Amino acid sequence: MKSGSNLEKVLTSGQFAVTGELGPPKNADAEVIRTKARLLKGCVDAVNITDCQTAIVRMSSIASSVILMEEGLEPVTQMTCRDRNRIAIQSDLLGASALGMKNLLCLTGDHHKFGNHPNAVGVFDMDSVQLLQMVKNMRDEKVFQCGEELKGTEPKFFLGAAANPFADPFEFRALRLAKKVVAGAQFIQTQLVYNLERFAAWMEAVRDLGVHEQCYIMAGVTPPKSIGMAKYMKNNVPGLDVPDEVIARLKGAKDAKKDVKEEGINLCVDIINQVKEIEGVAGVHIMAIEWESAVPEIAKRAGLLPRP
């Protein structure tokens, strides 16, 4: 056990893990975090707190993580390389650990071109693989990136990374995951799974490399809230693969005068049930940003409750 976090305990004990996601507000209102946290409480093992996702200025992931902890939930604090250099990252991580954060998701970060400050400097002093390596060395070797000894208490994080089975080149995707695991990733949260066929093919490649035995892979899922959202994800989000059948299913529900949101939840539950059956999938990461209230229902219907 590297961090002793709840998520680490659930995963190492072999139970199917569930994480949620919470996007901090674009203001200084702690109540926003508290309200969303209450919706997720009891339904997930830990909650990802995004780090200015899509490069839009929001409350910091570390500050939001503290508020989440006050509500009795465990954060998976996200850290990107877009806005901080190695000095700032290491400094923030010492602080995050001192504040009690135990899970860290290491990301390169979305490019700022589409955010609300497209004219900013994109720092990218390092990438996600190098970030993992650096934090692992801080924890296991007690050294800073520069090689200097870290005297005293080291930050003890359960280290996570992202993987996108749907990005190109497909043949390299399992290898890239392997690289992240070598660098230090202990758990993986994937890009949203809608294309099960491709996800299964990727998992097969991952198993061929034996990587599923060296890390815990959690499949990312999200309930589509509307036909428009599904279409948007299909056409406008790079690295997302939304097959036509998904849109057709939602349209079918609409035509049959059924609730599209309800069908979105059903679809999400179906995907969870299917990924559960794939060898090497250790959990699901349910992202229902700005629709946190859907998570309890999804977890319940997918038979994921009660949480350990």
Partner 1 sequence: MIVGERKPIQEIVGMLKGMKKVLILGCGGCVSVCSAGGEKEVEILASILRIDRKKGGEPIETIEKTLPRQCDTEYLEGLKDEAGNYDAILSMACGVGVNYLADMYPTTLVFPALNTSFMGVSEEQGVWSERCAGCGDCVLDRTGGLCPIARCSKRLLNGPCGGSQNGKCEISPNVACVWQLIYDRLKGLNQLEKLKEIFPVKDWSTSLHGGPRKIVREDLKL
Q: Closer CB to partner 1, residue 124 or residue 291?
A: 124
- Binding residues (CB under 8 A) for partner 1: these are 81-82, 86, 108-111, 113-114, 122, 124-130, 133-134, 145, 162-164, 166-169, 172, 175-176, 178-179, 182-183, 191, 238-239
Q: Which of 111-130 are b and which e, b meaning 16 or more Cβ less than 10 Å from the residue's Cβ?
A: ebeebeeeeeeebeebebbb
Residue closer to partner 1 by CB (options 32, 134) is: 134
What's the closest the beta carbon of residue 35 comes to partner 1, in angstroms?
A: 30
CB of 106 to partner 1, least distance (A): 12
Within 10 angstroms of residue 54's Cβ, the number of other Cβ atoms is: 15
Alpha-carbon distance 82 to 216, whole Å?
Answer: 26
Q: Which is nearer to partner 1, 59 or 131 (CB)?
A: 131
Q: How far is the CB of 81 from partner 1 (least distance, A)?
A: 8
**Is the peptide bond prior to 155 cis by the omega test (within 30 degrees of 0)?**
no
Q: Looking at beta carbons only, is 76 or 299 nearer to partner 1? A: 76
In whole angstroms, the minimum distance from the beta carbon of 21 to partner 1 comes to 16
CB of 178 to partner 1, least distance (A): 8
Contacts of 292 (CB under 8 A, 6+ apart): 20, 22, 36, 39, 40
- Residue 195 burial (CB count, 10 A): 18
Nearest Cα to Cα of residue 188 among 164, 154, 152: 164
